[in-house]
Amino acid sequence: GAVVSQHPSRVICKSGTSVKIECRSLDFQATTMFWYRQFPKQSLMLMATSNEGSKATYEQGVEKDKFLINHASLTLSTLTVTSAHPEDSSFYICSARSGQGFTDTQYFGPGTRLTVL
């Protein structure tokens, strides 16, 4: 159980276009989802936290108007990179929070490799 999927796995786009990445929790409901970004040879950096039905909370330095997050249901969150530029090329990873028992755990998707030309 606790499977998180992302789509697409890879995307190449031209500079100035927008790209949407979907994150789904397949076998559990996730009231909270998280979006991370990872540059080559670096660790994961949290971009934002999204709660179902409410606005996302962005980490310091992350532009909310550039990285649009929608968490419309308990199993789906989307990240839209608007007006993408080459410096936005990165590995984007989502995770979903599964609450069970006394603790809960975050499960991660396989990631989306974005290349902006």
Q: Is 47 helix (H, G, I), strand (E, B) or coil?
A: strand
- Interaction between residue 109 and other proteins (CB under 8 A): yes
Size of the site for other proteins (CB under 8 A): 24
- Give the span between the Cα atoms of 16 and 25, in whole angstroms: 30
Binding other proteins (rule: CB under 8 A), the pick from 1, 54, 60, 102 is: 102
Q: Which residue has the tokens 């809960």?
A: 104
- Only one of the segments 11-19, 61-69, 73-81, 88-96 lies at the binding site for other proteins (rule: CB under 8 A); that segment is 88-96
Angle at 18 between CA 83 and CA 27, to 5 degrees: 135
- Interaction between residue 62 and other proteins (CB under 8 A): no
Binding other proteins (rule: CB under 8 A), the pick from 43, 54, 60, 61 is: 43
Q: How far is the CB of 68 from other proteins (least distance, A)?
A: 21
Per-residue DSSP letters for 84-114?
Answer: --GGG-EEEEEEEEEEETTEEEEEE---EEE
- In the complex, the residues that contact other proteins under the rule CB under 8 A are 2, 4, 6, 34, 43-46, 49, 91, 93, 95, 99, 102-111, 113
